[in-house]
Structure 1
Amino acid sequence: MLEEISIKNFAIIEELTVSFENGLTVLSGETGAGKSIIIDAIGLLIGGRGSAEYVRHGEKRAEMEGLFRLEDNHPAVEKLEAAGIEIEDDMVVLRRDITHQGKSICRINGKLVTLAVLRETGHSLVDIHGQHEHQDLMHAERHQQMLDRFGKTELEEALEDYQKRYHRFDQLQAKLKQLKESDQETANRLDFIQYQLQEIEAAGLQPGEDEDLEKERHILANSEKLFEAIRGAYDHLYGEGKALDWAGMAVSSVEEAAEIDTDLGGLSESVSSAYYMMEEATFTLRDKADSMAFNPERLNEVENRLDELNKLKRKYGDSVEDILVYASKIEEEIDSLANKEERIAEYEQALSQAADELIAEAKTLTDLRRQAGHALAGSVQQELQALYMEKATMEVQISPLGRGKSYQTEEGETWVFNEKGADKIEFLISANAGEPLKPLAKVASGGEISRIMLALKTILSGFQHVTSLIFDEVDTGVSGRVAQAIAEKIHLVSRGSQVLCITHLPQVAAMADSHLYIQKEEKAERVQTIVTPLTADYKIDEIARMISGVEVTALTRENATELLQMAEKAKSNV
């Protein structure tokens, strides 16, 4: 559940901390007091689209921080642990700052994360339903996601299997299309890469050749200086009165000392070894100096070869190894293009097999969706009856896709796929007896849409695993007994999940387990939002205000008290 949220410098909110309880929490207050602004802040906290416009005028950044408590088996736990985010005492803290320049800074339990990670985590914790959700319900493309969610694990696994085969089918179809490009383009490409391969092969490249040549060029270009250094070292070591001569005398002296003091035997051996190593190095220097000769022709050869390699590098890679890798790549492409018809036949066979497997998975997915659609329609109708839409009927229409990746089987049957399957899914409803089933957008009024949305959310909330559900004025357009039914339905949902609800309906407010009153006041010529938890007496006054709309009277207080008593009775009967 969402235990607490802190908001600072967000819209008209200067600084605000709100604690929430389990069950149903109602947020009420005058229009414009800031109720929806608090929900907007929660929406941004869980990864909603940010903007510099949210930052309070004159401030550098808006800050939002929320504390959530999770159950051990919550889906977010595994995701966070995979991202290297530690969870202590089953608590998760989300934080998001938005600067006046529009930049977002996101953290989870103090660790910086991307907005995508914050959004993925946040959407598994909170589900917000507002007026825009009603609009989503009108769009058929959203219906498939709702149906798949209702289908639970079996449908999710079938969709995952389907998508693996779809990606394989898509790759093969793209490759086959590439192979079937026009003959002229293929011929031009073949000529071009054959020329490139011949040029690379003619160079006779050897791995590491460029590095070896660079080293050799450096030595050849400095051969005179190198000779003088080697010859100088030899002259200092060899000859009468030179280093080697003195070292030999040192060996003799140490050997004589070791004959007197046997403890110096090890030292004598070390000095002797050093002498012989120095002697060997001296002769090596002599041989190296004798064998050296300045060879300008070889230097020219190396320079020319390096120039040739550099020209190839500018065309095909940064090193000889890169050039050889490129040559191998175009050699495979040449083989593919030169044997185009054979390759096309191979890919057509592979595509046919992939399509058969994809069609089989698509059929399985469609069958499962039909079963889930039948069950969902029945559940929605049952929920709508409790919301005084007794004559409403619903059907989940599943038909073939009209747009997507198409494929024609050998039998002449045409299939159209996308990443979600081969199905076009749309919810059809008849709100009243005798009316034909039609798409939601064409038959439902505002009040009916509110009830249909609530019915769907009541059913789907059991499969979402979110810690908190937020209803932002989803009871718009209803009154009377329908309002009471919606109030009871929202409270029923709160039995299984924390629910926060912005409402103007006294029936919904009366069902609340806790009630927060939102108001705005002017301080230092600036407007700010204040949240006050209502006690029993103040709750009566607020519900009375919601009933009367203008002036609270003794009669409206009596009505509010009666409404609260009825609400308590309704709760106890659930």
Structure 2
Amino acid sequence: MLQELAIENFAIISSLQVSFGEGMTTLTGETGAGKSIIIDAVGLLMGGRGSTDYIRQGATKCLLEGQFIVGKANKLPLLLEELSIDLTDGTVIISREINQSGKNVCRVNGRLVNTTVLREIGTYLVDIHGQNEHQELMQADHHLNLLDQYASDQLPNLKETYKQIYQSYKKTLKRVKNKQTNEKEFAQRLDMLTFQSQEIESADLRIGEESELKEERQRLANYHKVMAALNNTYDALSGGETSSLDGVGFAMNEMMDIENLATEYSDISETIKNSYYQLQEVANEALRCVDALEVDEGRLDEIETRLDVIRQLKRKYGESEEQILSYWQEINEELLASTQFEQQNEQLEKELATLETALIKAADELSLERKKVARKLEEAILKELAELYLEKTLFEVRFFESDNPIYQESGQDSVEFYITTNPGEPLKPLVKVASGGELSRVMLALKTIFSQLHGMTSIVFDEVDTGVSGRVAQAIANKIHQISQRSQVLCITHLPQVAAVADTQYYIEKNIVGERTETSLYLLTHDERVLEVGRMLAGDEITPLTIEHAKELLALAKK
């Protein structure tokens, strides 16, 4: 329920604050006084499209605030919890500020939100219907949604079951189509991976092999240089008549003869001994290297060929042996997985066929339940229309069958409302035959039905009673009041019958204050309501008879 509404610098309203109670409240006044501006303000609080045109001339911004009480049947608390918006004592305070720059600042219970979130929240708070708000009725593709709103206990569960199967079906169907589209590319990739795997495998690559080959190549390339160095080293140390070892051996023998005479002689003797034995070992090692050194003239070519293979592999598959072998493992895993490709395809086709069968079954069950709901909706609408003096009306929810149904997220059903208000005339699409007044009554009949089902906080009617009079006007008044027994109703009206049945009546007037137009809102007392209803009955010239008629309307409404 909308408790409080505050407006600042909005259109021709400089400042306005109004409280609303339960039941039915009407807003009346002369044409152009600004009644619809108040409804526009409520619409903006519900996330409606904003514009700088709403800002009062001379102001830099407009500010709208609304305080709502959320009933227990309302599902808004669940949404607010998802949005991490606190809800205290069931109170929701919404504010919206529109600046000259076009910037919107929206808050819900102090938390900043965007207009998309505001719109989502608004769907749980206020339902606004104006003179041109019949578009849902006038668009056949919305009729299925209206039918689903009049849901049985089973229908929501059937819709959810169908939706889950449909989403799985669409996902699997997409996979199948992608497979078919990419089959050629996949086959080409398999050929490429097979070639790459065989190329790497045939190379029989080993980690560290390249560095070993380069070292061996280095030795082979310098064979003659190495052989000469080793021979010369051996000759210098122990070969020939004047070998170094002989000289060191002579010195060692000389020092051994005097090493016992002094400590320093002993140290010299020990050092020479160590040097002699080390040089002797070096000479022997050089000789062994000479004996072991062989040259295979073809080996160098083999090494160059092998290194070239490794270079080619590195250029294609990685910068090192580790990377090449890692890539080889990866493509082998992909090739292994590809061997199961056909099996997967068969499994995918079976899965799709199973889902398609389940989808058809779920769609048929949903359609059957909708048809049951449609019959009940038809009966309910005809009952409401009879109370609105359209008792001769025939109304039908038609299902359009197809040999090749198209399955969508909403199911397979194509639905449209058909109606005739003239006995003997065939039923035709509602969007083509209903007049403005009839559409208002059909919409009102639907709203009466749906207000019994939904936990909507407030319903706003903006001159939906235009174009009717007499007993039809009274019937519409009674129907709006009936709706207000379940939801708060705010109603802008020019009909005295509707104003009379309201629990509360506000009068809106436009005045010139300081050369500026101002809109004001007043809560009418009983006596003021008599005068206002009288004005609505007779216009400017109010006679005693008019007053009596107004009193009678109010008295009958009270009963």
TM-score band, normalised by shorter chain? 0.7 to 0.9
- Give the whole-Å Cα distance in 1 for the aligned partners of 2:139 and 2:384: 21
Is the Cα–Cα contact under 8 Å of residues 186 and 337 in structure 1 kept in the other structure?
A: no
Q: How does 1:6-25 map to 2 (within 5 A)?
A: 6-25=6-25
Instruction: Write the letter of the residue equivalent to 1:448.
Output: E
Deviation at 1:553, TM superposition (A): 3.0
- Give the whole-Å Cα distance in 2 for the aligned partners of 1:332 and 1:482: 78
Deviations 1:440-475 (A, max 9, x none): 122211111111110010001111201111111111
Residue aligning to 1:39: 39
Deviations 1:524-571 (A, max 9, x none): 3322221111111211111111112343333322221222122223xx
Deviation at 1:71, TM superposition (A): 2.5
CA, structure 1 residues 34+346, in 2 after alignment: closer, same or farther (shift >3 Å)? same
Instruction: Write the letter of the residue equivalent to 1:459.
Output: I
Q: 2:407 aligns with which of 407, 417, 421?
A: 417
- Give the whole-Å Cα distance in 2 for the aligned partners of 1:128 and 1:119: 13
Deviation at 1:505, TM superposition (A): 0.6
Deviation at 1:54, TM superposition (A): 2.1
Deviation at 1:350, TM superposition (A): 1.2
Correspondence 1:497 to 2:487: yes
Deviations 1:295-347 (A, max 9, x none): xxxxxxxxxx9xx99x999xxxxxx9xxx99x97x988877878765544332
Residue aligning to 2:460: 470
| TM-score where L is the length of structure 1 | 0.71
Residue aligning to 1:30: 30
Correspondence 1:449 to 2:450: no
- Give the whole-Å Cα distance in 1 for the aligned partners of 2:346 and 2:12: 67
Instruction: Write the letter of the residue equivalent to 1:380.
Output: I
Deviation at 1:399, TM superposition (A): 2.1
- Give the whole-Å Cα distance in 2 for the aligned partners of 1:188 and 1:109: 60
Residue aligning to 2:59: 59
Instruction: Write the letter of the residue equivalent to 2:168.
Output: R
Is the Cα–Cα contact under 8 Å of residues 400 and 416 in structure 1 kept in the other structure?
A: no
Structure number with larger C-alpha Rg: 2
Is the Cα–Cα contact under 8 Å of residues 73 and 455 in structure 2 kept in the other structure?
A: no
> 3-state SS of the aligned residue for 1:414?
coil
Aligned length: 444
Correspondence 1:546 to 2:547: no
Is the Cα–Cα contact under 8 Å of residues 473 and 498 in structure 2 kept in the other structure?
A: yes
Correspondence 1:510 to 2:510: no
- Give the whole-Å Cα distance in 2 for the aligned partners of 1:188 and 1:378: 63
Residue aligning to 1:296: none
Deviations 1:196-229 (A, max 9, x none): 9999999x9x9xxxxxxxxxxxxxxxxxxxxxxx
> 3-state SS of the aligned residue for 1:134?
coil
Q: How does 1:141-540 map to 2 (within 5 A)?
A: 141-181=141-181, 342-400=343-401, 414-540=404-530
- Give the whole-Å Cα distance in 1 for the aligned partners of 2:78 and 2:104: 25
Is the Cα–Cα contact under 8 Å of residues 152 and 373 in structure 2 kept in the other structure?
A: no
CA, structure 1 residues 174+523, in 2 after alignment: closer, same or farther (shift >3 Å)? same
Deviations 1:504-532 (A, max 9, x none): 11110011110011112222332222111
Deviations 1:110-160 (A, max 9, x none): 112233332222111111111232122111111111111111542222111
| TM-score where L is the length of structure 2 | 0.73
- Give the whole-Å Cα distance in 1 for the aligned partners of 2:466 and 2:558: 23
CA, structure 1 residues 191+63, in 2 after alignment: closer, same or farther (shift >3 Å)? farther
Instruction: Write the letter of the residue equivalent to 2:49.
Output: R
Residue aligning to 2:237: none
CA, structure 1 residues 40+152, in 2 after alignment: closer, same or farther (shift >3 Å)? farther
Deviations 1:9-60 (A, max 9, x none): 2222222111111111001111221111111111110112222322223333
> 3-state SS of the aligned residue for 1:136?
coil
- Give the whole-Å Cα distance in 2 for the aligned partners of 1:70 and 1:487: 26
- Give the whole-Å Cα distance in 2 for the aligned partners of 1:81 and 1:117: 13
- Give the whole-Å Cα distance in 2 for the aligned partners of 1:77 and 1:333: 50
Is the Cα–Cα contact under 8 Å of residues 8 and 15 in structure 1 kept in the other structure?
A: yes
Deviation at 1:84, TM superposition (A): 2.1
> 3-state SS of the aligned residue for 1:132?
coil
Deviations 1:267-294 (A, max 9, x none): xxxxxxxxxxxxxxxxxxxxxxxxxxxx
Residue aligning to 1:276: none
- Give the whole-Å Cα distance in 2 for the aligned partners of 1:446 and 1:544: 26
Identity across matched positions, percent = 47
Is the Cα–Cα contact under 8 Å of residues 458 and 487 in structure 2 kept in the other structure?
A: yes
- Give the whole-Å Cα distance in 1 for the aligned partners of 2:541 and 2:496: 15
Deviations 1:54-91 (A, max 9, x none): 22233332221111112334211222123222222221
- Give the whole-Å Cα distance in 1 for the aligned partners of 2:496 and 2:198: 84
Is the Cα–Cα contact under 8 Å of residues 9 and 62 in structure 1 kept in the other structure?
A: yes
- Give the whole-Å Cα distance in 2 for the aligned partners of 1:334 and 1:140: 53
Correspondence 1:138 to 2:128: no
- Give the whole-Å Cα distance in 2 for the aligned partners of 1:200 and 1:81: 59
- Give the whole-Å Cα distance in 2 for the aligned partners of 1:32 and 1:192: 77
CA, structure 1 residues 393+199, in 2 after alignment: closer, same or farther (shift >3 Å)? farther
Residue aligning to 1:74: 74
CA, structure 1 residues 199+73, in 2 after alignment: closer, same or farther (shift >3 Å)? farther
Q: How does 1:113-128 map to 2 (within 5 A)?
A: 113-128=113-128
> 3-state SS of the aligned residue for 2:424?
coil
> 3-state SS of the aligned residue for 1:65?
strand
CA, structure 1 residues 471+331, in 2 after alignment: closer, same or farther (shift >3 Å)? farther
Deviation at 1:162, TM superposition (A): 0.9
Backbone CA RMSD of aligned residues: 3.2
CA, structure 1 residues 478+188, in 2 after alignment: closer, same or farther (shift >3 Å)? farther
> 3-state SS of the aligned residue for 2:549?
helix
Instruction: Write the letter of the residue equivalent to 1:117.
Output: V
- Give the whole-Å Cα distance in 2 for the aligned partners of 1:166 and 1:342: 24
CA, structure 1 residues 448+73, in 2 after alignment: closer, same or farther (shift >3 Å)? closer
Deviation at 1:357, TM superposition (A): 1.0
- Give the whole-Å Cα distance in 1 for the aligned partners of 2:333 and 2:482: 65
- Give the whole-Å Cα distance in 2 for the aligned partners of 1:38 and 1:200: 78
Deviation at 1:428, TM superposition (A): 1.0
Q: Which moved more, 1:365-374 or 1:546-555?
A: 546-555
Residue aligning to 1:226: none
- Give the whole-Å Cα distance in 2 for the aligned partners of 1:126 and 1:161: 30
> 3-state SS of the aligned residue for 1:178?
helix
Residue aligning to 1:558: 548
